[in-house]
Chain A
């Protein structure tokens, strides 16, 4: 807990970060930058967990552990996603999503 800083300020930061991630996920055309946007989103959620834990339930560690697990999940997700991206690159010689429109129909 940081003296003099209300919980709301943390939440503002995390919210903005979350929606910047969402925005990036929508506007980016490159698979890797989309992945980075996802990392931003996960990170902002982590901040929320930690802050709620510290400010509202300082006697417990739930938020702390959740964050820990989310970090683990994010790592696995990044690993698999990058494997996929490399595979796609091999197949299409590009990771621009407009070139990868096999999902159509």
Chain B
């Protein structure tokens, strides 16, 4: 059951990611991206990282994709269709991607992964919360604070950048 589920999710992820970068309708691309993200969160569920999967769903699927769709609606007509990509870019992009994928896969298969034999940690909310705000060896309070400041800065800068300035009105 799990195995079949995994392959199904993998197929969804791969197919929709390819579709998302090839479709010529932008809203569809966004929706395909949504599917990819949901598939990813399914994989997190399968790996027993429920919290992460929830974050993936809410933040990515619920936040970023919605943001993207908003911006699409602000800047495009829904029926807008892309031109075909330039041939040079198309061939170059595919070639680079193929070579890169080949190299990485070769490296991955060449490598012998050695799993730790330590007993698996029970990933519950208490453990996550304690480590995220912990100040001991495995504590992540500093990156946590950094991220919070980064988010604040991004929030402010997004407002400033997207604000309709006086000088832009003149243009």
**Footprint of B on A, CB under 8 Å?**
1-5, 7-13, 15-30, 32-33, 35-37, 39-40, 43, 46-47, 50-51, 54-61, 64-65, 67-69, 71-80, 82-87, 89-91, 95
Contacts and interface: CB of A to CB of B under 8 A. Distances in A.
A72 B151 contact: yes
Looking at chain A's contact residues, is the secondary structure mostly helix, strand, loop, or mixed? helix
B131 A79 contact: no
B83 A83 contact: no
Contacts of A89: 74-75
29 contacts: A1-B47, A3-B2, A8-B109, A12-B108, A16-B101, A17-B13, A18-B101, A20-B18, A20-B21, A33-B21, A33-B26, A36-B68, A39-B60, A43-B60, A50-B43, A51-B47, A56-B114, A57-B118, A59-B121, A61-B131, A67-B52, A72-B59, A76-B150, A76-B154, A78-B64, A83-B158, A83-B162, A85-B75, A90-B164
A49 to B, nearest CB: 10
Given A22-B97, A56-B114, A86 B63 contact: no
A34 to B, nearest CB: 10
Given A26-B96, A74-B64, 14 more contacts: A2-B47, A21-B17, A22-B96, A24-B20, A30-B26, A46-B56, A47-B43, A58-B116, A59-B116, A75-B63, A76-B154, A82-B67, A82-B71, A87-B168
Nearest to A35: B68
B162 A23 contact: no
B47 to A, nearest CB: 5
B155 interface: yes
Interface string B109-144: 100011110111101000110011000001010010
B154 A80 contact: yes
A23 B94 contact: yes
A78 B120 CA distance: 34
A87 B49 contact: no
A95 B60 contact: no
Nearest to A72: B147
